[in-house]
Amino acid sequence: MVSAAEFRQVCGQFATGITIVTTVAGDGSPQGMTANSFTSVSLEPPIVLVCVDLRAGRMLECFEQAGRFAVNVLAESQKELSNRFARQGLDRFEGVSFEQGTSGMPLLPGSLATMECVIRRSVDAGDHRILLGEVTAAAIQAGVPLLYYGSGYRLLSD
C-alpha cells in the first residue's frame, strides 16, 4: 500500500497549472479556492472537473448550493493570488478585484482563461468530491501560466 506521504510525493512529479475556482455563497458573497486538481473531461459537451477536499465543508457547500462555479486559470504574475486563495480562515476576496461573469460567477482579471460552469454531477472519491461542470462560457488571453511542480511554483522556460 502506498502511504499518503508517498502518494503526495509521486503526484508532485506531475507539473500542473494553477486555478482559482470561484462561486457565490447563498448570501451573495464571492467565494473561491486555489486548486490544481482540475482537468478537461469532454469536448461534446464541454465538461471539466475540479476536486474539492471534503474537509473544505463551507466551500463545498457553497459550490453545491450555487450549482455553478468558475475556473480561473492563473498567469505567472498571479502567484500571490494563488497563495491567498489557498489559505484558510480569511475573507479571500477582501481587497481582490473581480468581474461578474455571464452566470454571475466571480472572474479574476488577468487570468489566462476563465470558464463558467454548471454542475452536472458530483462524485465522492476518497477524501474529495469531484464536481463535473459543463462549460457555458469561456474566455482566454495571452500570457505565461503559473505552474506547480515538486511542491513549489516553477517558471516555464523554452
Instruction: Identify the pLDDT of residue 144.
Output: 94
Query: Residue 89 pLDDT > 80, yes or no?
Result: no
CATH 3.20.20.150 fits 17-142, yes or no: no
User: Given the C-alpha cell 497549472, which residue does it identify?
Assistant: 17
CA distance 151 to 134: 30
How many Cα atoms within 13 Å fall on the side-chain side of residue 6? 3
End-to-end CA gap in the chain: 38
Query: Residue 109 pLDDT > 90, yes or no?
Result: yes
Asked if 88 contacts 124 with a C-beta cutoff of 8 angstroms, the reply is no
What average pLDDT score do residues 127-131 get? 95
Instruction: Identify the pLDDT of residue 158.
Output: 62
pLDDT above 70 as % of the chain: 99
Cα-based distances in Å from 7 to 3, 14, 95: 6, 12, 36
Query: pLDDT, tens digit, for every residue of 7-24?
Result: 888 888 888 899 999 999
